[in-house]
Structure 1
Amino acid sequence: MKLVFLSHDSNHTGGAQKCLVDLFKGLKCKYPHCEIYVIFPSEGELIETCAPYIDGYKVIPMPWWLLDNNRVISFRKKVSFAFKTIKRVMKVVRYLRLIKPDYAVTNTIVLPYLALSCKILSVKHIWFIHEIPTTWGDRKFVFSLEGILKFIDSFSAKVVVPSNFAKSFYTQAIRINKIDVITQAVDLDVSCSSVQAEHKRYTILLVGTFDSNKGQMELLQAIKSIVDSGRDISCYLVGSDAGNLSICKKFISTNELEDNVTIAPFTNDIYAYYLLADILVVCSGFETFGRVVVEAQKCGLPAILTDVGANPERIQDGVNGLLYAKGDIDDLVCKIEVLRDKCKRDEFVKQVKQIKLEKYSLVSFASQFYDLLK
């Protein structure tokens, strides 16, 4: 079988890109006869990461039909984008004619070019969507969201999503028989100990881009409440800046939390931070999958998550982790304090082991995806 994928980005920092790499690894392991080709929108480190698992690639510059602001988009700009789209589609068509794929897969919702090209050549197209556009308060499509969703429904044989939460959103606009939920892999590049070492200070970790969704400020308010009550705590915030880093730094400085909070930039060696922490905290306003939760669990870390999005699909409250009411700082503080007790943390880690995490394996992920093709 010959497959071609379209990646929306060429860096390796996002969850969608990591998901794509894990899929390639799993397919090559489980189905070595598969030929995998990829179209990238630019040169970047993702190409090097994918290289051992793919049979070829093509770089075709392609702008997103998603803009970074919410300003009104003129009719002239829409027409201009449409004309530029035709040129890029023809480049994709030429590449598809060269490799003759059996199936084509667009990774994420922000690029329409592969779907259009497949319609021209009558190639079956699958959309792998990781995001929910209505949660992007600061971004806007060139065309209406309603039109985008109709386009996806018309220009795809299947739409793949990573959670039932995501499926519930897309079934509002896309035929339900087209949508399938598959559990993506979470492959660890290093071997993490399943037993966390004792730390001198109770240490919590939040991993995520500093933006309006990930909730760093919510956690910082909880840290301040804990410190003000006379209890010691240490916290690592790890992630790249998307506009909210300065706000967090100002809060830390204003409230003299420098001894309690350490900010670190995004790193591919995130596992080192899992081993430094006692628990993981996820304060996101929404998650369609929640990769870091599974990573932390595989590293033996219990987790506290918001009770929204796909989080309840990853954590059963009180069984293999804790959920708190999004926006409720007192509830978050309470849950953090519950896990200050190492015996309680060990109980949750034991429950995770009993539930098992094989469903997040490369082979399981590849098998689910391959079955959809059949």
Structure 2
Amino acid sequence: AVLLNSFQKIRLTIVGDGIIRQKLESLVDRLGIKNNVAFAGFVPNEKVVEYLNKFDIFVMPSVGEGETFGVAAVEAMATGLPVVASNVGGLPEVVDDGKTGLLVKPGDVEDLKRALEFYILSKDARIEHGKRGREKVKKLYNWKDNAEQMNNLYKEILSKTDS
């Protein structure tokens, strides 16, 4: 809602049916921003890319340590989106602050606002960070290489138990 004062055309799509959805819907009503916010609900895996391709920025404002890895952030980066994420859990391992996205203090509305304003005002940064994110995902998170590394790890562990 804070960004709407400066950027009336922005739209927010909230994906998922998590436990806070009802609270978020009430908040949207109370703030009078229904025209700027859409609730997509649960999106099946086969439709995730289709949804992500509609967005300019991916935002993941987690507040607790529950976000152990950040699969959703990796999926967003794979589609070339810059990611604004809270500096919690495994998200700092996925998002390179200032390179593939921006990390913000958990629960800090002003920090989140600054990060979003940066990307709204700088299309070049959005595109560049999105490209770098996609490159990172291609380099570090491809299934073949990960499976091979896991296989080598298992072989190493098994060879030590045989000795």
- For 1:292 and 1:365, the matched residues in 2 are separated by 18
Give runs of aligned pairs for residues 147-186 of structure 1, distance below 5 A.
none
* Partner SS, residue 262 of structure 1: strand
Match of 1:249 in 2: 25
* Partner SS, residue 35 of structure 2: coil
CA gap 1:320/1:241 in 2 versus in 1, 3 angstroms: closer
Match of 1:226 in 2: 3
| 1:322 to 2:102 alignment | yes
Give runs of aligned pairs for residues 1-374 of structure 1, distance below 5 A.
224-227=1-4, 229-232=5-8, 233-242=10-19, 244-268=20-44, 269-284=47-62, 285-286=64-65, 287-340=67-120, 341-355=122-136, 357-374=138-155
Q: 2:77·2:83 contact (CA, 8 Å) conserved in 1?
A: yes
Read off the aligned partner of 1:280 and give its amino acid letter. F
- For 1:336 and 1:357, the matched residues in 2 are separated by 25
Match of 1:44 in 2: none
Percent identity, aligned pairs only, is: 31
> Can you list the C-alpha shifts for 1:107-134, whole angstroms capped at 9, x where unaligned?
xxxxxxxxxxxxxxxxxxxxxxxxxxxx
Aligned residues: CA RMSD: 1.5
- For 2:12 and 2:18, the matched residues in 1 are separated by 18
Higher helix share: 2
Higher strand share: 1
- For 1:230 and 1:358, the matched residues in 2 are separated by 37
| 5+ residue gaps, structure 1 | 1-223
* Partner SS, residue 270 of structure 1: helix
- For 2:148 and 2:33, the matched residues in 1 are separated by 47
> Can you list the C-alpha shifts for 1:21-59, whole angstroms capped at 9, x where unaligned?
xxxxxxxxxxxxxxxxxxxxxxxxxxxxxxxxxxxxxxx
With the length of structure 2 as denominator, give the TM-score of the two structures: 0.84
